[in-house]
Amino acid sequence: MSDKHVYFFGDGKAEGNASMKNLLGGKGANLAEMNLIGVPVPAGFTITTEVCTVYNDKGRDYTVDLIKSEVEAKIKETEEAMNAKFGSKGEAFPLLLSVRSGARVSMPGMMNTVLNLGMNDETVKLVAEKSGNERFAWDSYRRFIQMYGDVVMGVEAEDGKHDPFEIEIDKLKEAKGYELDTEFTPEDLKTLVEKFKKVVHDRTGDDFPTNPWDQLWGAVCAVFDSWNTERAIYYRQMHQIPAEWGTAVNVQAMVYGNMGKNSATGVAFTRDAATGEDIFNGEYLIDAQGEDVVAGVRTPQEITVEGSRRWAKRAGVSEDDRKAKYPSLEEAMPEIYKELDATQQKLEDHYSDMQDLEFTIQDGKLWILQTRNGKRTGSAMVRMAVEMLDQGMIDEKTALLRQEADKLDELLHPVFEKKALESATVITKGLPASPGAATGRVVFFANDAEEWKNRGEEVVLVRQETSPEDLKGMHVANGILTARGGMTSHAAVVARGMGKCCVSGAGDVRVDYEGRTFKVGDRVVKEGDWISLNGSTGEVYEDKVATVNPELSGNFAKIMELAEKYTKMYVRTNADTPHDAQVARDFGAKGIGLCRTEHMFFEGERIIAVREMILAEDEEGRRKALAKLLPMQREDFEGILEAMDGFGVTIRLLDPPLHEFTPNDEASQEEMAKELGVPADVVKSKVESLHEFNPMLGHRGCRLGNTYPEITEMQARAILEAAVNLKKKGKDPRPEIMVPLIGTVEELKLQKEIIDRIANKVFEEKGESIDYLVGTMIEIPRAALTADKVAEVAEFFSFGTNDLTQMTYGYSRDDAGKFLPIYLNKGILKNDPFQVLDQEGVGQLVQMGTEKGRSSNAKLKVGICGEHGGEPSSVKFCGTVNMDYVSCSPFRVPIARLAAAQSAIELDK
């Protein structure tokens, strides 16, 4: 921890810069950087994230003491840069401040910004006098009390009611017969200020603080407090952000977009965040302040003429009306627009990435309040990277590193079927806020969304507008529909960040929270009704509209081509059917890392033969039943080997305990008895005899093959006959037979002997032979610990990290649901180890197993086939231990390919 806790920026100077995000937060680092490159930014300072950590450990008094003199000095510098005075008594224009949170990464769960800090009964008069605009002064004052009261002092709406400040506003409007807030006179605003102060007193028992310094410390500490709100913690968990990072606090001189017709405020993107198109775009409002644009209260106007025309077309507004009532900034303030356009270009060039910026125009002067790398949809992410590569802004490695593996996921998801769309009924239309196709049942509350989702329902969250409280609900919903708010509303921005389909600002939608319905004209849609959203067009459909898989060409193909160029590992898939194998192959899978044979045991007549085998009294009976299974298995393997022709196919021998194939309830047992022509109590007693106290550690895996070698014989024969048959048809089958769950090399040795013996027999019978491998899964810690011995027999290892995690932690996969969520909540675990590979513990076994295995068998092929094989951070770990391949489910293949390439690039650095 350094001695410096506060960093100044302003007037083209700054103590920080863009590389200091960890210390200054993203916002603070960029405010500093913008000053350094000559972008106009109101002066101010950043209190570091380290101070947040001190605050959490040592509390308020200690922290204020620690940084007090530094803050006082930086206020002085800010006063000089802005030519104003904090707590002015009339000697200068009062310096008013904005206090903003800012973590390393942007976090919607954090504290809202407090604007106009420094206002009190005296400064408001000075502001009125010195600006010559009394209305503006009092409006700023009442906004300040409202924000500070809400954010810092915790004045909240009572359940189901309006915010108490808004109630005062509505009352006064009604009494005066006003339609709009803008009709308030300065006298009205003075009345409101008094009423607001009373609200604060009534609600909190405290007077509203009048001393600007008290106000400042209150706001700074509130930012630190907001780091540990439930919302912020939830967001951190969702995005794996460590609690130790902390947030910085940015204190900055206010500039005003609400000083009249020559002032404005807005949000802009240097490229289209939804589609990735290289087109400057954004929204603004004249004579407005702060969050008016994102709050969705007034309809914002477009920044460029082109955007404005597109908007008018969508909204059905005529060109004359558009020009008169909703002109673009380009038309309304052409000079400022030019400066803004030049600035956005400068910022994008400087950061070599799409920027999301906030600006304010104060009486004809442009100020930039924030810039950051803009959130974007998956398809925009891909398109921007490819186009920036073509434009020479970034190189190939950067283009690859900039792909967020999880976001690629969006591109792999379905879109609406064209045919189904033609006959679908459009209920209404909103803004295409975040693309994709979503169908689900309507819910109106975030809590319901979670509850419904938990019981297996698909939901679409419908809201008047969303706020950070709705985060959890948005996360679990398939899509989000809001009645209010523009393209930069909370719902739109958050949904794009999550890669979630969203239609915002569907103005015809009338939400009735109490009745749990929404209306569009006469049509009533109830809670639980199905609707479908098209986030790319803004259309909302009745019912569930059918979807199809997306096309993976163009920019996506280009990114995959780059991944191929830089990757060192290849990607296989976990697939049990020719269809899945083909899907994965189309996504670029090079082989199968795990084909589970037991999935083939359940279908149709097979289960009868399997049960016959289980019931058999002796080996002869088992062999008879197995003989029935043989042709069916052979056919399965022919299909799957053919679908993966030319690539390795790892087939795992029977793994689950046998009781999984027998029914538990009496009725089904009787049915089974009938099917097999045996008395019911025979079945019953067999089922009882198969019962185990801990089946996961019981009679399963190679323990089956070693007690009933005839099962291994049959499976080996089916695989090898299938391969030979294919070879005779001119194909190139490459089976790799995998023995599951070994703990000692002897278990593998015995199984390998059987397989090799059967292979020789088959080759002799058929007069044709093929190459095949015999290897094992490493999923018991002992196998990893003795990997050098195991590798003397095995030709390949495949880390079965599901079981390996289970046995390393001693957590039963089937029962961990009872305590894992609590462990995650309490921070005992950072991640669910069944989803994200535990690199520290399980990872050691993986690394040791790989190294020891290769030490005794240099040709050993090593891969992973647990769920982790499609999880980006786990894939990267596999790269660091030099695995040959990872294997994952078909739809994760592109994500794994990307993560593998990123891993290679990062390791190369």
> Does residue number 54 form part of the binding site for ligand ADP (CB under 6 A)?
no
Q: Taking CB positions, which residue lies at the least distance from Mg ion?
A: 370
Contact stretch for Mg ion (CB under 5 A) within 359-367, 369-377, 753-761, 821-829: 369-377
State which of residues 32, 115, 357, 382 lies at the interface with ligand ADP (CB under 6 A): 115
- The answer to whether 620 is a known ligand-binding residue is no
Provide, rounded to whole angstroms, the least separation between the CB of residue 149 and Mg ion.
21
State which of residues 100, 135, 475, 585 lies at the interface with ligand ADP (CB under 6 A): 100
> Does residue number 139 form part of the binding site for ligand ADP (CB under 6 A)?
no
CA-closest candidate to residue 448, choices 466, 468, 467, 474: 474
Distance CA 380, CA 270 (A): 12
Distance CA 564, CA 401 (A): 13
Residue 588 interacts, among ligand ADP, Mg ion, none and using kind-specific CB cut-offs from 5 to 8 Å, with none
State which of residues 29, 255, 347, 719 lies at the interface with ligand ADP (CB under 6 A): 255
Q: Which is nearer to ligand ADP, 113 or 120 (CB)?
A: 113
Active-site residue, selected from the candidate residues 501, 702, 865, 878: 865
- The answer to whether 163 is a known ligand-binding residue is no
Size of the site for Mg ion (CB under 5 A): 3
- In this structure, are strands 281-286 and 301-302 parallel, antiparallel, or unpaired? antiparallel
Total Cβ atoms within 10 A of residue 803: 21
Q: Rule CB under 5 A: which of 164-203 touch Mg ion? A: none
Residue 254 interacts, among Mg ion, ligand ADP, none and using kind-specific CB cut-offs from 5 to 8 Å, with ligand ADP
Distance CA 839, CA 455 (A): 32
Q: Are 45 and 77 in contact (CB under 8 A)?
A: yes
Active-site residue, selected from the candidate residues 5, 475, 490, 659: 490
Residue 109, phi then psi, degrees to nearest 5: -80, -5
Q: Which is nearer to Mg ion, 488 or 798 (CB)?
A: 488
Q: Taking CB positions, which residue lies at the least distance from ligand ADP?
A: 100
DSSP summary character for residue 209: P
Residue 290 interacts, among Mg ion, ligand ADP, none and using kind-specific CB cut-offs from 5 to 8 Å, with ligand ADP
Q: Are 85 and 75 in contact (CB under 8 A)?
A: no
Distance CA 743, CA 753 (A): 17
- Measured over the CA atoms of residue 390, residue 393, residue 397 and residue 401, the dihedral's sign is negative
State which of residues 88, 191, 370, 466 lies at the interface with Mg ion (CB under 5 A): 370
Provide, rounded to whole angstroms, the least separation between the CB of residue 75 and ligand ADP.
14
Structure tokens at 409: 């996921």
Secondary structure (DSSP) of 250-318: EEEE---S-SSTT-EEEEEESS-TTT--S--EEEEEET--TTHHHHTSS-PEESSHHHHHHHHHHHT--
Q: Rule CB under 6 A: which of 287-306 touch ligand ADP? A: 290-291
> Does residue number 488 form part of the binding site for ligand ADP (CB under 6 A)?
no
- In this structure, are strands 415-416 and 365-373 parallel, antiparallel, or unpaired? unpaired
Distance CA 322, CA 722 (A): 70
Provide, rounded to whole angstroms, the least separation between the CB of residue 739 and Mg ion.
57
- The answer to whether 478 is a known ligand-binding residue is no
> Does residue number 98 form part of the binding site for ligand ADP (CB under 6 A)?
yes
State which of residues 49, 265, 489, 902 lies at the interface with ligand ADP (CB under 6 A): 265
865 as an active site residue: the answer is: yes
Q: Which is nearer to Mg ion, 106 or 428 (CB)?
A: 106
Distance CA 385, CA 390 (A): 9
Binding mask of the shown chain, residues 365 to 394, with x at each position contacting ligand ADP by CB under 6 A? ----xx------------------------
Q: Are 373 and 355 in contact (CB under 8 A)?
A: yes
State which of residues 42, 94, 479, 538 lies at the interface with ligand ADP (CB under 6 A): 42
Residue 482 interacts, among ligand ADP, Mg ion, none and using kind-specific CB cut-offs from 5 to 8 Å, with none
- The answer to whether 779 is a known ligand-binding residue is yes
Distances (CA, A) of 491 to 283, 484, 827: 15, 9, 29
Beta-carbon contacts of residue 87 (< 8 Å; ≥ 6 apart) = 94, 118, 123, 211, 212, 213
Beta-carbon contacts of residue 228 (< 8 Å; ≥ 6 apart) = 56, 243
DSSP summary character for residue 208: P
Provide, rounded to whole angstroms, the least separation between the CB of residue 98 and ligand ADP.
3
Distance CA 772, CA 766 (A): 16
Number of H helices, E strands in the chain: 37, 32
Residue 737, phi then psi, degrees to nearest 5: -90, 125
Contact stretch for Mg ion (CB under 5 A) within 370-378, 458-466, 501-509, 527-535: 370-378
Residue 219 interacts, among Mg ion, ligand ADP, none and using kind-specific CB cut-offs from 5 to 8 Å, with none
Q: Which is nearer to Mg ion, 16 or 266 (CB)?
A: 266
Q: Are 902 and 400 in contact (CB under 8 A)?
A: yes
State which of residues 272, 283, 358, 642 lies at the interface with ligand ADP (CB under 6 A): 358
To 5 degrees, how large is the angle CA 47–CA 467–CA 475?
A: 100
- The answer to whether 803 is a known ligand-binding residue is yes
Binding mask of the shown chain, residues 234 to 253, with x at each position contacting ligand ADP by CB under 6 A? ------------------xx
- The answer to whether 596 is a known ligand-binding residue is yes
Residue 113 interacts, among Mg ion, ligand ADP, none and using kind-specific CB cut-offs from 5 to 8 Å, with ligand ADP
Provide, rounded to whole angstroms, the least separation between the CB of residue 239 and Mg ion.
18
Beta-carbon contacts of residue 287 (< 8 Å; ≥ 6 apart) = 182, 257, 258, 259, 260, 261, 263, 264
Q: Which is nearer to ligand ADP, 370 or 403 (CB)?
A: 370
Residue 633 interacts, among Mg ion, ligand ADP, none and using kind-specific CB cut-offs from 5 to 8 Å, with none
Binding mask of the shown chain, residues 334 to 363, with x at each position contacting Mg ion by CB under 5 A? ------------------------x-----
Q: Rule CB under 6 A: which of 179-208 touch ligand ADP? A: none
Q: Which is nearer to ligand ADP, 360 or 536 (CB)?
A: 360
CA-closest candidate to residue 256, choices 412, 42, 409: 42
413 as an active site residue: the answer is: no
Residues assigned a catalytic role: 490, 865
- Residues forming contacts to Mg ion in the complex (CB under 5 A) are 270, 358, 370
- Which segments are annotated as binding site for substrate? 596, 652, 779, 800-803
Task: Give the footprint of ligand ADP on this chain (CB under 6 A).
Answer: 42, 98, 100, 113, 115, 252-255, 265, 290-291, 358, 360, 369-370
